[in-house]
Amino acid sequence: MARIFVTGGAGYIGSHVVKALGEAGHTVRTYDNLSTGNRWAVLFGDLVEGDIADRETLKRAIEAFRPDAVMHFAAFIEVAESVRNPLKYYRNNPANALNLLEVLQELAVPRFIFSSTAAVYGTPETIPVRESDPLCPINPYGASKMLVERFLADLSFARDDFSYVALRYFNVAGADAQSRIGQCYKNPTHLITRALKTALGEFPKLQVFGTDYPTQDGTCIRDYIHVDDLASAHLAALDHLLAGGGSDIFNCGYGRGYSVRDVVESAKRITGIDFTVEEAPRREGDPAALVADSSRITAQLGWTPRFADLDVIIRTAWDWEQVLKRKLVS
């Protein structure tokens, strides 16, 4: 069993990975400034409250823990905000990641797993997207993640004693099957969450941005991955590095796309609520389709998803939204 230091482990995805690590018997320490994360979301291990910009606190927390690997989730994640305030994103994502990597070099931590994103591809020329396709991000968020990938590639090339896996997540959704943890953003922009919060009456209507895309029903197509399957991808990447595997990059998606209308239809069926949907113009920078070629992660890491079903994703997210609503009220 290994010792894993997790930045951003109190956030949506990080908390599901901490749960999976804990359930697998690993020893976990979460490091999080709780800017968007929550203390209650950390189900295993201890939580050190700190910022990755605070080098002294960060170094002390890592040095005392002596990790075999670091998983780095801490980042800002809102695309639209990154367009309005790019420096905020370049500071927290690449600049703070650089801080973390320097500390890891000082402490000779040999393994690193990085939360990257499909946003590094921008508007892909071919679907499904392969890891070897060109990186051409169209917003500061995607560019900020691409920069960290570059740091990692250069560092692992320079150092024989450092290896990493970057996982490029597609659209992450769903929640813990027992509704202990789930998405809890202050400003949720993800389609499934918006749809379910609209069903709960938290928003008056759900806007569908663009109905004239060159897709079967005119709406955008995305590859939705259940957060617990994404968590198991992290454990597969960890096993790979612990077994001495080399640095690598993998898409994390199911290789199957659903349109916005598919999601709306499923959300209405599962909630039993016919919430209001409004057609709106396209948004700047939304590619028509974004679907992963996920053959590399299944072949190389032996990753086997267990929740590759839109209804299952939406059902677990719906159960969680109701728990969250009660949690926030009480």
Ligand X SMILES: NC(=O)c1ccc[n+]([C@@H]2O[C@H](COP(=O)([O-])OP(=O)(O)OC[C@H]3O[C@@H](n4cnc5c(N)ncnc54)[C@H](O)[C@@H]3O)[C@@H](O)[C@H]2O)c1
**Distance of alpha carbon 290 from the chain centroid:** 15
- Which residue's CB is nearer to ligand X, number 50 or number 218? 50
4, 37, 104, 297: residue in contact with ligand X (rule CB under 6 A): 37
Q: Does 292 bind ligand X (CB under 6 A)?
A: no
User: Does the bond joining 128 to the residue before it have cis omega, within 30 degrees of 0?
Assistant: yes
Interface residue with ligand X, options 10, 181, 237, 277 (CB under 6 A): 10
Dihedral angle sign, alpha carbons of residues 159, 75, 115, 44? positive
Per CB under 6 A, does 305 bind ligand X? Answer: no
Find the shortest distance in angstroms from Cβ 172 to ligand X.
4
Residues 327 and 272: their CA atoms lie apart, in Å, by 22
- Minimum CB separation of residue 212 from ligand X in Å reads 25
The distance of closest approach from Cβ of residue 274 to ligand X in the complex, given in angstroms and rounded to an integer, is 27
Rounded to an integer, what is the distance from CA 205 to the centroid of its chain? 26
Token reading at 96: 């703070």
Angstrom distance (rounded) from CA 147 to CA 209: 29
Greatest CA separation for the chain: 57
Does 51 help bind ligand X (rule: CB under 6 A)?
yes
By CB under 6 A, residue 35 contacts ligand X: yes
Q: Does 32 bind ligand X (CB under 6 A)?
A: yes
Between CA 58 and CA 103 the distance in angstroms is 8
189 belongs to the binding site for ligand X (CB under 6 A): no
Burial class (CB in 10 A: 0-12, 13-18, 19+), 306: exposed
Could you say whether residue 258 binds ligand X (CB under 6 A)? Answer: no
Binding mask 71-100 for ligand X (x = CB under 6 A): --xxx-x--------------x---x----
Task: Note if 185 is an active site residue.
Answer: no
Which residue has tokens 């597609």? Answer: 170
Stretch that binds ligand X, among 51-59, 63-71, 103-111, 310-318 (CB under 6 A): 51-59
- CA 330 to CA 327: how far, in whole Å? 5
Strands (E), the chain: 3-7, 27-32, 46-49, 69-72, 111-117, 163-169, 171-173, 206-209, 221-222, 224-226, 248-252, 258-259, 277-280, 289-290
Instruction: Compute the distance between CA of residue 86 and CA of residue 80 in angstroms, rounded to an integer.
Output: 10
Where in 111-130 is the site for ligand X (CB under 6 A)? 115, 117
Residue 330 CB, shortest distance to ligand X, in Å, is 21
Question: Among 13, 62, 249, 267, which residue interacts with ligand X (rule: CB under 6 A)?
Answer: 13
Residue 12 or 275 with smaller CB distance to ligand X: 12
Q: How far is the CB of 41 from ligand X (least distance, A)?
A: 8
Q: Which is nearer to ligand X, 204 or 312 (CB)?
A: 312
Active-site residues: which are they?
141
Q: Which residues bind ligand X (CB under 6 A)?
A: 7-8, 10-14, 32-37, 51-53, 73-75, 77, 92, 96, 115, 117, 169, 171-172
